[in-house]
Structure 1
Amino acid sequence: MLGLQKILLLHLLACVRKLAHGSDIIHGEKAPENSMQYMASVQDNNGRHVCGGFLIKEDFVVSAAHCDDSNPTHVVLGNHNLKNGNHQKIRIENKIIHENYQRVGLGDDIMLLKLTQKVQLNGRVQTIQLPPAEIHLQENQVCQVAGWGKTKTDDNKPADELMVVDVSVIDKQVCKDQWGGVPANVICAGGYKTTKGFCQGDSGGPLVCDGLAVGIVSYNHNGICNYPEDPNVYTDVRKYLQWINKTVTDRNSFV
């Protein structure tokens, strides 16, 4: 049994060498104004956008655990254009990373951001619903992923406008075969055999299927975004519902 575990770990480590943090939107379009009111720009102390996220309660944003590497300090909600000052900017009180997370590519890439105050829900800012644990995603089911940032591999200038693109769910076994193994508790969608998906600089955004936040942008292949060689990989939110619910109700998490 230990031998099998070592083999699986080596497969995952091999994958880590060719992956890159996920993020921005390739071959997408500008999101219609007020269409994705749950989207959050996770920013550092200099006001630089470092990751995406999504609002699940008035004082909680979900993002990717590896986004903590950029030391985010606050979130911005309520505006698709980050250069427009008409938004809510709220500091992060606490960052709760899943206890099993080690590094991107090894799984459990999920983090909850507790805000210092509750967001004002209005016509520009709303929460998004999480999926029930029993929901089943179909192969080729069309979902959406959105984010801010560069829109092609060799472009270092991030986009000011929120971009969105349709991506199709990829069979888990196909995903495993293409990557040579993937962590448990992930969803694959976009990238493989398409020119659409996410790229670097805005991990943590949601994969939205039928209006539910089912995934969290985690990683893709080697920073190649224009014509991705492997499927894009997301943390499967359905597998962390108990942890999320416990964390948002457990005040001891914020001590």
Structure 2
Amino acid sequence: MIGRHRDVVMPNMLTDKTKYNGSEANDIAVLVLSSPIPRTNCTETIDFASETPQAGSWALTTGWGQIVDSINGFYPETLKGAYVLIEDHESCRKAYDKKWACGPNTTVTNEMVCVHGKNQGPCRGDSGGPLVSISDKQLIGITSWSVHCGHPYFPDVFTDVIVLKDWILRTRNSVHVPSTAFFMNVGAHGNYTDELKVG
């Protein structure tokens, strides 16, 4: 989905992370599109961040998902975003150790980065959307999962593209993608595509 009109570009090839096993870990794939996305003032490439930001750093998450967490909730006509704080990884892991509050596949792994939006954050339909650092406008992660939109106690969880950068680049090189590659979240709700400047 690209820009305000949410145009669709069909994939020509899909390569998912080889370790993906149905859990929430390695929630990422590389797409090779059948045609290029036209460059406009609504579409642009983005660089990888050089490292995962420290806890307490600000980031921006955007998407086309619901405004309110509800099965019958509506989807916006324009792209929405929320400012969030990077969460300490160990605190995030401990929060999701409470199995009574979460499903069986909510183990926080090293391939994930957590954020806390304090009553705002990604929601239904936002999976696969970008998490971008505020300081340098670089890509940190892609929306993966959470137990509730902007939950006050449980952080939202993203796939950490910095940790998986080598895999993304190897995959891009193995399928002879030109100067850009495309990736997305491949979990149950994955529906968002982003363009990476990777070479």
Taking structure 1 as the reference length, what is the TM-score of the superposition? 0.60
1:176 is matched by which residue type in structure 2?
A: R
Q: How many angstroms apart in 2 are the aligned matches of 1:136 and 1:201?
A: 24
Structure 2: gaps spanning 5 or more residues: 98-106, 178-199
The structure richer in helix per residue is 1
Paired position in structure 1 for 2:93: 176
Match of 2:32 among 90, 114, 117: 114
Q: How many angstroms apart in 1 are the aligned matches of 2:55 and 2:68?
A: 26
For residues 209-248 of structure 1, what are the structure 2 equivalents within 5 Å? 209=133, 210-221=136-147, 224-225=148-149, 227-248=151-172
Deviation at 1:171, TM superposition (A): 0.4
For residues 40-189 of structure 1, what are the structure 2 equivalents within 5 Å? 41=1, 77=2, 79-82=3-6, 89-105=8-24, 107-132=25-50, 135-154=51-70, 155-180=72-97, 181-189=107-115
Q: How many angstroms apart in 2 are the aligned matches of 1:150 and 1:131?
A: 27
Q: Larger radius of gyration, structure 1 or 2?
A: 1
Change (3 A) 1:227 1:176: closer
Identical aligned residues as a percent: 25
Q: How many angstroms apart in 2 are the aligned matches of 1:115 and 1:153?
A: 31
Change (3 A) 1:119 1:81: closer
Change (3 A) 1:153 1:143: same
Residue by residue over 1:122-180, the C-alpha shift from the partner in whole angstroms, topping out at 9 and shown as x without a partner, is: 33321111122xx2412111100000021111242211210011000010111011111
Deviation at 1:240, TM superposition (A): 1.2
Q: How many angstroms apart in 1 are the aligned matches of 2:151 and 2:163?
A: 29
Structure 1: gaps spanning 5 or more residues: 1-40, 42-76
**Residue pair 2:150, 2:156 contacting (<8 A) in 1 also:** no
Taking structure 2 as the reference length, what is the TM-score of the superposition? 0.76
Provide the alpha-carbon RMSD of the alignment: 2.0
**Residue pair 2:116, 2:150 contacting (<8 A) in 1 also:** no
The structure richer in strand per residue is 1
How many residues align? The count is 165
Residue by residue over 1:48-93, the C-alpha shift from the partner in whole angstroms, topping out at 9 and shown as x without a partner, is: xxxxxxxxxxxxxxxxxxxxxxxxxxxxx2x2244xxxx5x42111
Deviation at 1:202, TM superposition (A): 2.3
For residues 18-29 of structure 1, what are the structure 2 equivalents within 5 Å? none
Change (3 A) 1:136 1:115: closer
Paired position in structure 2 for 1:36: none
Deviation at 1:228, TM superposition (A): 4.5
2:66 is matched by which residue type in structure 1?
A: K
Change (3 A) 1:249 1:189: same
Q: How many angstroms apart in 2 are the aligned matches of 1:250 and 1:200?
A: 33
Q: How many angstroms apart in 2 are the aligned matches of 1:102 and 1:228?
A: 29
Q: How many angstroms apart in 2 are the aligned matches of 1:127 and 1:139?
A: 26
Deviation at 1:206, TM superposition (A): 0.9
